[in-house]
Structure 1
């Protein structure tokens, strides 16, 4: 719905006033021309979430739940982490509704990346004892898994959870404001009018706007990394403007932090994913210029590999299948671990059963 030549996306009030429009923000999974998994609506949804997180006070709970469900679907479709899912989780958690623990649990455990990055304390947003009682009395199919996860958070208090939710919202609001300040230029009355901005004589005098108008989606640009923001956005000076690289666009390989790939002062060449003139944002991608190593790994389906267990999660164990620090990790489902107790660091011999390049998933097996 957005783009350099489109009208700006309506603000959050527009969506809140008419729930019949919400499906326009629904997850829409697919693949691009290179076979990479994409969600056609995630940029629009993230823009709405960022607008909501900036506004004081709670958001309509049904809208917050809807957005969290869509973000959860989106993260299950693709590799990497986008902060939109945590923004949606915060907006849901603020309502302290105990039944939402299941939505929050599914979001936190949706993927390896969400599990490793999102604060698990959000599961206690309705209160520690209240949440435990609700889970214990529930007949939900994931009841035992949730209870096990809650037991791992036994030291958490209600005060800590309330403080976490408030601090995370303030943090994101401040970070987004700072990002806007770094990317925004002088106010331009031509852009305040309804509809796409026009190149008035005043617009021609705005160097940032002139520069943005010259950029095109798919264009390659070279710039210098000037900042790695706290919530994972890498800021790149491309000569006349500060562009951004979100974590999922830094590398095809799993990373814990942008500093695993780039450093401040480093010169990088990237592809422009979009040019948002209205919001003065230019998202870039480094991985668009890289070959996807997961495609090469598909050639090893059926091969036996040995690697360390890197994560133990309720639904199984992740095992590194490449002999490198940023090597891909595959999931050995818990059904394959019956009667076996393993710990992080244990070396396992497994077979690569499936490599899904669309969903960025590697399935492992111990069966012959």
Structure 2
């Protein structure tokens, strides 16, 4: 190994969490090496939100994050809140707007968020610190001895008393994502909760092929799996189900479980009887077509198999159809995997980490932040808020 460069901390991963951690530590006067195998920083930031980066949510309570320990995220999230990041965005004069459900996006480009974080790294010099970037060179050796971490990358090497694992999870492998964080964590004695794709489309089997003919059709629904329920749009695809409601539900779904979808969540109980009274000569496909996309209405009417005028149908049959539409069962065969997953659920077990500092309990100087950790937020800016909050929490302890 070459003569090592010396730093106060080495941050592995120049994504959202790593950039925030490095910038914050640098502004605290620390000399930080920020290392990433990618040629450019913040690659997932750049593609997020359709290129406009859903950088946070107005509200980010811990209840909207999944983890084997649902209390773990509370400390970091309470100490760096959405309004704190909004203030940072405003200080860089980045225009933004709010979409549905508290989701905040750049008016311009996600590149503005990456540029902001890099500018924050540069500010370290004014505080007596420094953030040194090394991009395009993967870590090929990571060791710990005598209270220091040593790392080799390219033709260089470095050492520091602190190492921050911020390399994320394996979601979106085409962006270079891997399970490197888990391998490294295990090597240093940390356990890993089985990683799985989250915020990901669900697939359907051959018996539900009729719905796959609806590819491209979307409609507002309430999707349910166990106690989890989300009221947003669902999208039928050539493989199964997607859209915000389904992506949200996918984080709670487990193989073998069924889901239910209320296809008409705005309709009150008894609406089909009311239609019968008001339009006795109407057909089910017609009344459904007034409330749903035409292609979907046609498929549902065919599945429900209620032919003829509503006025000639028994109320019990209408009630049964109404119940089916309010809780249409689907049996997903799986997901579209890490290739289409927006994030990874599971990851480095929180039991081995301090919720205040993100530091490994058994190995001082080792920190784990962001998506690499077993904390997964809802769709809508929550995972970025966890990246900012966990990155700040670790930096405060470096």
User: TM-score with structure 2 length normalisation?
Assistant: 0.20
Q: Which has the higher contact order (CA 8 A, sep 6+)?
A: 2
User: TM-score with structure 1 length normalisation?
Assistant: 0.21
Return the structure number with greater helix share. Answer: 1
Return the structure number with greater strand share. Answer: 2
Larger Rg: 2
